[in-house]
Structure 1
Amino acid sequence: MTQSLDEAIAAVASYTIDTDMENEVWQKGVAINGLLATDRDDCLEAARALVDRSVETQDSNGQLSYGPSYPIEVFQHGKEYDAHWEIDERKAMNTNNTTSIGHGVLEFYRRTGDERYLEAARGEYENLQSVERTEDGGIPHHVPELSGVKGLWIDSVYMMCPFFARYGAAADEPEAVDEAARQLIVHAKHLQDPHTGLFRHIWHEQPNSYPQSTFWARGNGWIQAAIVDVLEFLPDDHPDREELVEIFRDVASAVVERQDDSGMWYNIVDDPHTPLESSGTLMYTYAFERALELGIIEDEKYERAARDAMDVAIGLVDDEGAVRRVAGPPGGPGAPLTSTSYGQGFFLLAASQFTDGQ
């Protein structure tokens, strides 16, 4: 190990602050969360600048940062993405990627009391309430009227659910908190494999199918990170709390048993022929530590797994502060390894769990 954790955090933070994220959406949302987790003055200033710009560029539908933008190029990593529907930029319009920025918007509402942040969050919330849903109430990942399908993607739970819970608490709208739990449960119903406890990537309602069915590392990270973040705002007596805890325990148990001796996890967690990948590794680290703090898991194997992962992750940071070996969007099999804003964000989120302030 060539640098300490504090040195790695400083380098990653500096690189992230200097990254141009003007044209990013969900990636920027994760980066904002990571910057906020450091509680460093320079990171808070940078996060607020990103949030303020996203509010300034909120579109007429209430979606932050110019609204959904999903260039067709991101779908060209694997033929499974273009084998099931005709992808173009219009049809790929996303329902909830911009909501990832809503976490940061609500954090600055908490810090400042400035009502423009709450109004911006309300726009995001109301937009998602208008989306046509699956028969059991799931909010699709893409606009059904354009894509021609109602598909649930595991990515959505991190974009939407912590935001719903936090918005409900901030706006005193308990139905939004209920929505956070409902979406997690509906997504688990369709995407969690009953045999392994792991989550698949994409489910389509019609026809009932899995166009991308692998146990993708970042996908299993999305669900774990989403649940621990939702539980922070979910009342202890909420009727869905125990079900969410059980979902978390099932997937965490399945994931922890598949950690490689290096401390990392494979891009497809049950396939050692895929590369060891950093974003999923960092997401599990963050989620395990948060779950231990919340008391929803207690076994020391999770603490050991998280510490082993964090130790190896420090070495993923290059001399400029870029976190390497991140599977590029949209993830899944064959995604190239690179550096991304969300990889930076999840490094900072995970690392913050091991600093003195945590």
Structure 2
Amino acid sequence: MRADNGLKMDSEIRKVMEQLKHLQSPVEEVCPIGIVSMDNWEWPQGVGLFAIYLYYRKTKRPQLLKELTDWFDWQLEQGLPPKNVNTMCPMLTLVCLYEETKNERYLRVCREWAEYAMHEMPRTGENAIQHTVSGALNPGEIWDDTLYMTVLFLTKTGVLLGNDAYIQESIRQFLVHLKYLTDRRTGLLFHGWTFLENHHFAKALWARGNSWYTAGLVDYLEMVELPEGVKAVLLSALEKQAEALLLLQNSEGMWHTLLDDPSSYAETSATAAFAYGLLKAVRKGYLPIAYKEASVKAWRAVLSQIDDCGIVRGVSYGTGMGRTLQEYRDIPICPMPYGQSMVLLMLVEGLEHDLELEP
């Protein structure tokens, strides 16, 4: 990469990261724990923290490490919220920080939360993790978000502690979620499944939910050595999903919030996560090089959604399980931490491919 482009990329990454820390949203919060401010401990903040951690891992800048440890130290002093699928998300970065700093306090908290995920977190049929969140038990429901929000943390902790039971549980969760959420017609994932009513709710092929698998799987495979048979199944699901995504990408390079409905709005956070996951999958050899062109097209489309201040536009607010497809079309659009953070991940992956901000 040319030195001048490297400086431009670094400047863009810094702008996006700075806005992540100070986001304000015009949308009235409906979640029990606010999902916009980085002062809170919830899943959007967790995704943002992991993006910053990966940028730290790439650059080894001490200030980034300090910002992360300061955030967690402050949260631990304040006291953590009740454990559930979504509040588990920041723990992935905390276990990575333990690996980096060897802070025993971090390890104690990670052990406690991992044991809860393993033995106490509510389960559905086939022992799938029930998608319990702040303010809602969601009995009998599994959602495609869960793999990213909880299972990645359990995996990383299992590897770090040499706890094979955690790793085997992560395998089971990936496989059972694929079993019940895969749309066999397209290879995409439905947003959710209910074991109590035996259906896929609105049968929504929701973009951001699908992108959690695309982005999460490439990080999952980087964390853990899997049996070849299991790895083949997971990568097969990724390639089927990627085949469908190429057919549904719009002319600008974006994906719509309902992937198979071009009348629903194009959504930036999902497009960024798809770009990140597909680019990394190509680099790692998980997908053929033929997928790179569409990935780069998405990468450039997302760049056009970053304003001069570094705020990522075109991001949908937090999305619960919809009983109708119209509910997804009606989700408001506003700046969100996961929009900033998925773009951060995408930009950092772009460095690995020597992509330039200006073609």
TM-score range, shorter chain: 0.7 to 0.9
Tell me the SS of whatever aligns to 2:125. Answer: coil
1:112 and 1:283 map into 2 onto residues whose CA distance is 28
User: 4+ runs of 1 displaced by more than 4 Å?
Assistant: none
Residue 44 of structure 2 is matched in structure 1 by 27
Change (3 A) 1:219 1:349: same
Matched, 1:305 2:294: yes
Q: For residue 36 of structure 1, report the CA deviation from its aligned partner.
A: 1.6
Q: How does 1:159-238 map to 2 (within 5 A)?
A: 159-237=149-227
State the distance in 2 between where 1:178 and 1:214 align: 29
The one of 224, 232, 236 aligned to 1:246? 236
Where does the alignment leave 5 or more consecutive residues of structure 1 unmatched? 59-64, 69-94
Distance 1:181 1:50 in 2: 31
C-alpha separation in 2, matches of 1:122 and 1:216 = 33
Q: Is the 8 A contact 1:55 1:117 kept in 2?
A: no
The TM-score with structure 1 as length reference comes to 0.84
- Code of the residue aligned with 1:338 in structure 2: it is C
Q: What are the Cα deviations for residues 303-352 of structure 1, in whole angstroms up to 9, with x where unaligned? A: 11121111121221122221111011116332111110111110101110
Report if aligned partners of 1:191, 1:202 keep a CA contact under 8 Å in 2: yes
Deviation at 1:6, TM superposition (A): 3.3
Unaligned stretches of 5+ in structure 2? Answer: 1-6, 24-36, 321-327, 355-359
Which among 6, 10, 29 is matched to residue 6 of structure 1? 10
- TM-fit CA distance, 1:353: 0.4
Aligned counterparts of 2:89 and 2:228: Cα–Cα separation in 1 = 24
Instruction: Choose from 107, 117, 127 the match for 1:118.
Output: 107
TM value normalised by structure 2? 0.84
Cross-structure match for 1:82: none
Give the match for residue 145 of structure 2: 155
Q: Deviations over 1:114-139 (max 9, x none)?
A: 22222211121111221232221101
Q: Deviations over 1:244-280 (max 9, x none)?
A: 1112112122112211110111111110001111010
* CA distance in structure 1 between the aligned counterparts of 2:228 and 2:78, rounded to whole angstroms: 35
Structure 1 counterpart of 2:114, one-letter code: Y
Contact kept? 1:8, 1:314, Cα under 8 Å: no
Give the Cα separation in 1 of the matches to 2:169 and 2:86: 17
Aligned partners of 1:344 and 1:291: how far apart in 2?
21
1:67 is matched with 82
Residue 103 of structure 1: CA displacement? 1.2
Q: CA deviation at 1:223?
A: 1.2
Pairs aligned (count): 323
User: Could you say what secondary structure the match of 2:142 adopts?
Assistant: strand
**Distance 1:183-1:55 versus aligned 2 partners, 3 A rule:** farther
- The match for 2:285 is 295
1:109 aligns with 2:102: no
Residue pair 1:326, 1:343 contacting (<8 A) in 2 also: yes
CA distance, structure 1, for counterparts of residue 314 and residue 70 of structure 2? 28
Q: 1:15 to 1:285 in 2, by over 3 A?
A: same
